[in-house]
Chains A and B, each alone.
Chain A
Amino acid sequence: MSDKQTKSAESAKKDHGVLYLGIDLGTSRTSVAASNGVRETISSYVGYPKDVVSRKLLQKDVLYGDDALAHRLSLNLFRPLGEGVIQCKAGDTPDSSQNLRAARDLLVEIVRRAKPRKDELVYAVIGVPAQASIHNKDAILKAAREAVDSVMLCSEPFSVAYGQDMLDDVLVIDIGAGTTDLCRMHGTMPEDADQITNTYAGDHVDEELTKRIRKKFPQAQFSVQMIKTIKEKHSSVMDRMEPVEVLLPVQGKPTPFDVTDEIRQSCRTLIPPIVDGLSKLIASFDPEFQERLKNRVLLAGGGSQIKGLDTAIELLMHERLGGGRVLRIEEPIYGGANGALKIAHDMPGEFWKKLR
């Protein structure tokens, strides 16, 4: 049999009885893309009723995502992937085992939402933050093996790049809530030298925006959550952006404020640190391929939805590096999950079987 025949026979058979999942296990969101077409995302929160009364009231043993957040007062709330890693230290403190349980429950839930048929074997590729330690990968692996039938971990930027069909010489910028991760990929698994992480990310923009609005409109009252909502709705770094007028209470009375410039300036604080990082990763790369790398920058993560950010980064790259091209991935929320699904699906069947 020719190689090709084997392959197509294999891939025809492979789909039978197996559901492939790509899971993006993020600090703030966990998303799944499944080979049955289902895609889902939940915020990475897991909550357990504090006591019998809360349990009766909520009528659930576990709550997830925004549902958990909404009832946080009656819950023991976990964010299992806080800091991009499962929060558990060496040794079995009660807290670490609780967190592991929360991670497992989160995975079980996201798998459930992918709607596997009852008899389907579930094979998942999980994208984990590039900086996750070995210890943490172990924890994720443990949690995952109870949720699916076969699992592989893969560094998150890797899956984003794979999803875009960019396998080699590519720089991935992933703007999350707590951190912005830059990762250089050149065929092999990224090593420490290929990664730069800074904390100029979503939360930082929220803080900046809070500071600026407070300074300009000291009379306005608002919460962090309101600021975040405003940001997510209007975020932009463009010179010419639509004016943003928001209603904020002043002594209880909703009052309009123009925060266009505050939003623009806050969002722009992300750009210089990103280009700093890009410069470092490009400069330390094989000179022959630097030009290519410069022109293959992928922008991903929730923060990549800031309007005009790709062009703005390009502009600064031109200024400081003499050129550059930034490609924003089409679906920031599912970029990692889509890529992981693609990996899961492309992975030869015998590999899956060996890792059961």
Chain B
Amino acid sequence: MRDIRPVSSERSDWGLFSPEELFELMRVECTRASRYGYDLSCLCVSIDRLGHLQDLYGSTSRAELLDALHELLKSSTRDSDFPRCMVDDALVALFPHTGTAGALTLCRRVLKGARRLGFESDGRPIQVTFSIGVATNRDAGVRDLESLLQQAQAGMALARAAGGDRFMRQEQASNEFDQIRRELEDLRSALDRQGDVVREAASVRRVLDLADLPGGGQALLERPEDREFAARMAALFGTGAGSGPEAEKLRQQAIEFALRGIHEERRRSIERQMRENEGEVDTLRRRVAKLNSSLAATEEELRRVMALKDVDPGVASIYRTVQGLSADAANAKARLDMLNRIFQANVELRQNLQPGSVPAEIRAKKDPDHE
């Protein structure tokens, strides 16, 4: 276990305490909460991509960012006199008389408040986001200040690992694993549903094949709804046409003909559906395969994240600024042209180099007569 001790009180506008004294204050608060049995929560907050922001905008930015974070925390609570200190690059704060629900509300406020922080550099806005770990003195495994901090830090590590701009409780780690398992179930049942379509198609095709054999007309009557249809037809014939072997044969042929039509139609519709779903099935299969092969690895990964303190900083907010080709974009057409060219260049690259590895459908396109 790494030693948890405050390393600085550089932003200590909350008094003239040394880091050690601050930590002692927190310990007192913690002991008092357990003695008198009231709720106490701990938030561990770090600034996402702090190192990166610092590289870009200089070391003053760190102090400014921490100041802003601090102000944000204060303005998000009723009592702004909560004990806090810096541990590494994270702000750790205790909130007496605050249970899980209250702590989570606080987290939401802080994340939302971050959106409104108006940092800029060179006139460009910079979006600052936080990763927050939450723990309370009611959590399983929390006995004292150290274990409380540790759980909050583990939560923060998870929040960062998940991309930042979020809060997490350590408990969520195991939930996450469960969620993966649930997703696997969902994927499997989605795949099953696709399988139903395939099975249906196979059965219809088989019926048609059988019907083509001499005396195979019986196969057309496999389904109850088809039998009912045939019976209705027979009844209809019965009212008008005469009797005798000729009429009987005619009736049989007409019914078979109609049934065959129904089956053909059914086959076409199912095959259309299958074609549409083919890509989907393929994607699903691949995802299931992938998920399957790494369920154990997930467990491993979670263990790793929990053990690691300095996991990679999250950067969730950034992607939002570079996302998505919208059809409305002014130059959407020009861009699509570009993308097409990149794609074609890649197709050619593969054609030139490894003829064997190019899917046939792509290679075929080179030959204009092919289609």
Contacts and interface: CB of A to CB of B under 8 A. Distances in A.
A31 to B, nearest CB: 11
A168 interface: yes
A130 B197 CA distance: 47
A153 B49 CA distance: 28
B210 to A, nearest CB: 36
B362 A141 contact: no
B322 A33 contact: yes
Interface residues of B, number: 60
Contact of B319 (A37, A40, A168): A37
Contacts of B180: 117-119
Contacts of A165: 331
Interface in B72-87: none
Interface in A107-141: 113, 115, 117-121, 125, 134, 137-138, 141
Interface residues of A, number: 55
Nearest to A353: B279
B353 A134 contact: yes
A354 B312 contact: no
Contact of B283 (A36, A121, A134, A188): A121
Contact of A3 (B52, B56, B283, B327): B327
Contacts of B335: 162, 167, 346
A34 B318 CA distance: 10
B344 to A, nearest CB: 9
Contacts of B312: 38, 40, 113
A348 interface: yes
A36 B124 contact: no
A37 B291 contact: no
A355 B343 contact: yes
A12 B338 CA distance: 22
A67 interface: no
A302 B341 CA distance: 28
Contacts of B361: 354
A37 B290 contact: no
B163 A346 contact: no
Contacts of B334: 167-168
Given A4-B328, A118-B294, A137 B163 contact: no
B359 interface: yes
Given A141-B349, A187-B338, 7 more contacts: A118-B294, A121-B286, A141-B350, A167-B335, A346-B339, A351-B343, A354-B359
Interface of B: 49, 52, 55-56, 124, 161-165, 180, 183-184, 187, 279, 283, 286-288, 290-291, 294-295, 297-298, 312, 314-319, 322-328, 331, 334-339, 341-343, 345-347, 349-350, 352-354, 359, 361-362
Listed from nearest, the 8 A-B pairs whose CB atoms lie closest are A346-B325, A119-B291, A37-B316, A7-B327, A37-B163, A118-B294, A351-B343, A138-B353
